[in-house]
A and B are shown apart, each in its own frame.
Chain A
Amino acid sequence: MGLSVLARNLPYLAGAFALTLETAALVIVGGTVAGVLLGLARSTRGRALRGAVALYIGLIRGTPLLVVLFVVYFAVPSLTGHRFTAYEAAVIGFIAFIAAYIAEDVRSGIRSVPRGQIEAALASGLSRGQVVRLVVLPQAIRRMIPALFNQFVRLLKFTSVASAIGVTELTGATLAVNAREFQPLPLLTGLALAYFAACYALSLVGRWLNRRYAIPG
Chain B
Amino acid sequence: MNYSFDWSVLWRYREQLLGGLVITLLLSLMAMAGALAVGVSAGAAAESERPLLRRIAAGYVEIARNIPLLVHLYFWYLGLTALKIPAFWCGVLGLSLYSGAYVAEIVRAGLQGVPAGQRAAGLALGLSPALVLRLVVYPQALRIVAPSLAGLFSQLIKDSSLASVISVTELTFVAGAIEGDTFRTFEAYIGITVLYLVLATTIAQVTLWTLRSELVEPAMRD
- Residues on A close to B: CB < 8 A? 59, 62-67, 70-71, 74-75, 78-81, 153, 157-161, 163-164, 171, 175, 178, 184-185, 187-189, 191-192, 195-196, 199-200, 203
Residues of B within 8 A of A (CB-CB), count: 41
Cβ-based interface call for B192 (8 A): yes
- Chain A: minimal CB distance from B202 (Å): 12
> CA–CA, A79 to B172, complex, Å?
20
**CB closest chain-B residue, reference A187:** B79
- In the complex, are the beta carbons of B197 and A63 less than 8 A apart? yes
Majority SS of interface residues in chain B?
helix
Q: Which residues of B lie under 8 Å from residue A64 when comparing CB positions?
A: 158-162, 172, 196
- In the complex, are the beta carbons of B70 and A79 less than 8 A apart? no
Interface centre among A59, A66, A164, A189 (most CB of B within 10 A): A66
Task: With A67-B189, A164-B165, A189-B79 as known contacts, state yes or no: A203 contacts B68, CB within 8 Å.
Answer: no
Majority SS of interface residues in chain A?
helix
- In the complex, are the beta carbons of A188 and B78 less than 8 A apart? yes
- Residues on B close to A: CB < 8 A? 1-3, 62-63, 65-71, 74-75, 78-82, 158-162, 164-165, 172, 175-176, 179, 183, 185-186, 189-190, 192-193, 196-197, 200-201
Q: Which residues of B lie under 8 Å from residue A199 when comparing CB positions?
A: 65-67
Q: A66-B162, A157-B67 are in contact. List 16 more A-B contacts (CB 8 A).
A: A59-B193, A62-B200, A64-B162, A65-B161, A66-B172, A67-B192, A81-B2, A153-B65, A153-B66, A160-B68, A163-B70, A164-B70, A184-B79, A184-B80, A184-B81, A195-B68
Listed by A's residue number, 26 A-B pairs whose Cβ atoms lie within 8 Å are A59-B197, A62-B193, A62-B197, A62-B200, A64-B159, A64-B160, A64-B161, A64-B172, A64-B196, A67-B189, A67-B192, A70-B172, A74-B185, A75-B186, A75-B190, A157-B68, A157-B69, A184-B79, A184-B81, A185-B79, A185-B82, A192-B67, A196-B63, A196-B67, A199-B65, A203-B66
